[in-house]
Amino acid sequence: MTVDEARERAAAALEEAGIVLTDAERAAIEVADFGLDQLEEVGLQLLVYVNTDRCCAKELVLFPNQACPEHRHPPVGDDPGKEETFRCRRGSVTLRVAGSPEIVLQPGEQFTIPPNTLHSFSAGPEGAIVSEFSTRSRDETDVFSDPRIVR
Amino acid sequence: MTVDEARERAAAALEEAGIVLTDAERAAIEVADFGLDQLEEVGLQLLVYVNTDRCCAKELVLFPNQACPEHRHPPVGDDPGKEETFRCRRGSVTLRVAGSPEIVLQPGEQFTIPPNTLHSFSAGPEGAIVSEFSTRSRDETDVFSDPRIVR
């Protein structure tokens, strides 16, 4: 699957879920393969609605069984690190958060991940659409446990 | 229209838009008439997904032509005031923000309102569903221009 194919597939999944996007947003869907070149297994498609100094909202699209590898959002200056709430919209997503039992979110269910806390997540067999509500997103400072990963 | 009727109507509108809610969330939809007792004209239905010290996400449901009266979110302590992004999901919403021309948002369109800035909004003839992504929400400190209003 190419990046363009992944972007189109993610846009189609969002549309099927009744999420209306502008043409500019569809074209701006970010496809992250984390530098591992195995996108269908390890990857993430993201649409960023807003990301200011203070808060951020995104839609995450995961293909069936696709996973986002373990990482944390460390403190940056006065910011204690990104706090994220994941709300499942379609499909299901399994969250693994340090210090918590494994959590499976179905549509309408959500979980808030504290700052600077290791976490990973993966979609169930139908894939997943997840809304993320958070403080400012600074992807470039994320710390991944797998040293091969480039974000 | 009673508060219970408004809550049920809002839940039905969210469901029709493909937004999956838990039973607890449906029951927790807040109906605000701002103390004016003319809910169908001046009022707002709100579902708060999350509201932490740092960020907040809600769905707002407006019935046809229903309006939210002019107000601002003032600074509180170290917080410069609530910053809000409104994203229209269904119907249309007209935003009146001090210092900007009137803005009409259609589905897929959004606008970010700076802190401590007077604003009001109203739905078009089909009503509206609007996602709000913001910093912490402190309704009790909102300042309304109409002195009769009780939030």
pLDDT in tens, B108-127: 999 999 999 999 999 999 99
Instruction: State which H helix or E strand residue A15 sits in.
Output: helix A3-16
H and E: helices and strands count for chain B: 2, 9
Interface test with A, best of B23, B51, B55 (most A CBs within 10 A): B55
Q: Is B21 in Cβ contact with A57 (below 8 Å)?
A: no
Tell me if B25 sits within 8 A of A87, measured CB to CB.
no
- For residue B86, the chain A residues in CB contact (below 8 A) are none
Confidence of residue A151 (pLDDT cuts 50, 70, 90): confident
| CB within 8 Å of B2: residues ≥ 6 apart | none
| Band (B145; pLDDT cuts 50, 70, 90) | very high
Contact: B85, A112; criterion CB under 8 Å:
no
Q: Measure the CA–CA gap between B107 and B105, rounded to whole angstroms.
A: 7
Percentage of chain A beyond pLDDT 90 is 98
3-state secondary structure of B137: coil
**Residues paired with B133 in a beta bridge:** B57, B85
What band does A150 get if pLDDT is binned at 50, 70 and 90?
confident
With pLDDT > 70 as the criterion, what percentage of chain A qualifies? 100
CA distance A44 to A98: 21
Q: Which of B20, B21, B133 sits opposite A55 (nearest CB)?
A: B133
- In the predicted model, what is the mean pLDDT of chain A? 97
pTM for this prediction: 0.97
Collect all residues of chain A within an 8 Å Cβ-Cβ radius of residue B26: none
Phi, psi of A67 (to 5 degrees): -125, 145
Output the pLDDT for position B150.
81
For B38-53, what is each residue's pLDDT tens digit?
A: 999 999 999 999 999 9
Q: What share of chain A is helix, strand, coil (3-state, %, to 5)?
A: 15, 45, 40
- Distance, in Å, from the CA atom of A121 to the CA atom of B63, rounded to the nearest integer, reads 37
Partner residue facing A50 (CB), from B21, B50, B112: B112
State residue B77's pLDDT score: 94
Q: How far is B111 from chain A (nearest CA, A)?
A: 9
Q: What is the CA radius of gyration of chain B?
A: 14
Mean pLDDT of all residues belonging to chain B: 97
- What distance in Å separates residue A149's CA from the closest CA in chain B? 29
Q: Is the dihedral of CA A129, A134, A139, A142 positive or negative?
A: negative
Tell me the sheet residues that pair with A42.
A67
